[in-house]
Structures are given as C-alpha cells and as structure tokens.
C-alpha cells in the first residue's frame, strides 16, 4: 500500500528546505502580527543593549538603570486611558540589558515583548517576558523589522556589534525618511556613546550632515530619559493625529 504524501503545509522536510525559505520568512512576519493584534498592542518603546552586561558586573549600573526606566515607562503607559496597549516595553528577549528591560516592566505589573533570536552560544529567552509575547526568530532581518514596525521610540544602552547594527539601522531609516512615523532615539550613557561613535567626526568629514545630529539625544538617568520620551511622544502624536478620543495618546482608529 502506497503511503499518502503529506500536504505541503504539513511537510516539515519541505518547510525546512531551501525551497521553503519564503514560507519561513512569511511566517516570521505573520506570527508576530497575529500575536500583537490579539494582545491589543499598537506601539512599543524598544530597549537595545548588550546581552553580556550583567547586574553585578563592571557596568552593572546600566542594567539597574534599564530596569528602572522600563518600570517607569510601563507605569506611565498603564496610566494612559487607552483601550489598547501603547508604549509597551520591547526588548531582544535575551539577557543583560534585554533582561533588565523585561524585568522592569514586570516590576510595574505590566506586559513586555521579547523578540528573541536563536544563537549558538547565547541569547536564551529571559524569564521576565510576557509568555504570549515571547517570539522566536530565525532571521535577523525579520526580527529587526518588528523592532521598527511598532516602535515609537528606542533607547540604546551600551552594547556591542548587535546593538550598533540595530541602532544604525533605525538612524538610517530616520535619516532617509523611510519611516511612516517617527521613532525617537535616545543614547543612554553619553560617555559610553561619545567614545564608541564619533558623530562630530562624521559631520567633519562630510559623511553626515549637521542636521543628522538631531536624529538622537543623549540621556544619562531614567528620570531624564522618561521626561524626554514623554515630551517627544506628545509632540509626535500631536503632529500625526490632531484629534484624539479622550486622551492625547489615544487616536480615534
């Protein structure tokens, strides 16, 4: 008796093959979209930073600050009279600064997102992500799409190549006006970032314009970051939607 062939969408060998790659990519677009829709999430505040930066390590104060800032952002978000979740903390889902962000949101009793990606030696999901909002990615470019797609703001804490990649991607999208809505960018830890990236040198050599220095702001404390974040989001939302239902932060759609 000849065994019946499985239908294509149930054929794991095919889905894992070279020919099945477009379906895997599409799934990494549609699954997060479905999860966010079900959770009522419309906007995020994204935290970037190193997975290697530990609470009790040499730069542990950045972990503590990320945790505190995520707590403050979540408490502020919960105070807004919106029917759907706005300004939800989102991280890369791993350890270090990412864990601190999800942990801070949990401290405030709020939900948070973790966009994790499987790597050979690190990047296991942290324990503080809201289970329904823990998403696993195979492709970096799809993960970065979801970092940007719902973001109203991003805060870049000290990090390495991955953080630089994510930061520069958002700055490039802003510079080239490829964003449908603005993303506020804050570099947390002026002394770190001024040592790592010499933005004035890029201006001096004609690689970016003086105007491009307005694409980001430096911040050094959770309170300062929250104040600038709130002021920036009020300004952006006033520009994008002149009428709100009951709140400056709740649009009428």
Q: Kindly state the average pLDDT of the residues 208-225.
A: 98
pLDDT at 2: 53
Task: Give the model confidence (pLDDT) of 218-250 as tens digits.
Answer: 999 999 999 999 999 988 766 655 433 444 556
More confident residue, 247 or 8: 8
Task: Give the model confidence (pLDDT) of 66-105 as tens digits.
Answer: 999 999 999 999 998 764 578 999 999 999 999 999 999 9
3-class DSSP assignment, residue 94: coil
Q: Exposure of 45 by Cβ count < 10 A (0-12 exposed, 13-18 middle, 19+ buried)?
A: buried
Looking at the domain covering 49-238, what would its CATH class be? Answer: alpha beta
Under 8 Å CB-to-CB from 172, ≥6 apart: which residues? Answer: 178
pLDDT at 252: 42
Show me where the domains of the chain are located.
49-238
Task: Give the model confidence (pLDDT) of 107-159 as tens digits.
Answer: 999 999 999 998 776 568 999 999 999 999 999 999 999 999 999 999 999 99
Among 44, 63, 41, which residue's Cα sits nearest to residue 54?
63
What is d(CA 250, CA 84) in angstroms, rounded to the nearest whole number? 8
Q: Helix and strand tally (H, E) in the chain? A: 9, 7
What is d(CA 102, CA 130) in angstroms, rounded to the nearest whole number? 8
What is d(CA 113, CA 129) in angstroms, rounded to the nearest whole number? 6
3-class DSSP assignment, residue 73: helix
Beta strands in 180-237 (DSSP E): 184-188, 217-219
Q: Kindly state the average pLDDT of the residues 158-187.
A: 96
Tokens linked to 67 = 């945790």
Tokens linked to 143 = 């993960």
Among 107, 78, 73, 75, which residue's Cα sits nearest to residue 90?
73
């Amino acid at each position: 008796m000849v065994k019946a062939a499985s239908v294509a969408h149930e054929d794991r060998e095919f889905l894992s093959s070279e020919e099945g790659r477009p379906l895997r990519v599409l799934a990494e677009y549609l699954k997060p979209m479905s999860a966010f829709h079900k959770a009522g999430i419309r906007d995020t505040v994204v935290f970037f930073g190193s997975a290697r930066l530990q609470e009790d390590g040499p730069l542990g104060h950045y972990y503590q600050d990320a945790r505190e800032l995520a707590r403050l952002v979540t408490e502020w978000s919960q105070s807004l009279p919106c029917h759907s979740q706005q300004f939800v903390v989102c991280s890369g889902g791993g350890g270090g600064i990412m864990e601190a962000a999800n942990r801070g949101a949990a401290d405030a009793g709020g939900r948070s997102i973790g966009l994790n990606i499987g790597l050979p030696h690190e990047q296991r999901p942290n324990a503080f992500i809201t289970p329904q909002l823990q998403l696993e990615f195979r492709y970096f470019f799809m993960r970065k799409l979801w970092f940007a797609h719902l973001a109203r703001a991003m805060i870049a804490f000290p990090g390495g190549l991955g953080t630089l990649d994510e930061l520069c991607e958002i700055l490039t999208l802003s510079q080239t006006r490829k964003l449908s809505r603005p993303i506020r960018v804050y570099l947390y830890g002026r002394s770190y970032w001024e040592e790592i990236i010499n933005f004035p040198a890029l201006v001096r050599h004609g690689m970016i314009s003086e105007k491009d220095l307005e694409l980001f702001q430096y911040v050094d404390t959770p309170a300062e970051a929250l104040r600038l974040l709130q002021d920036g989001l009020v300004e952006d939302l006033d520009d994008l939607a002149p009428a709100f239902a009951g709140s400056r932060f709740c649009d009428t759609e």
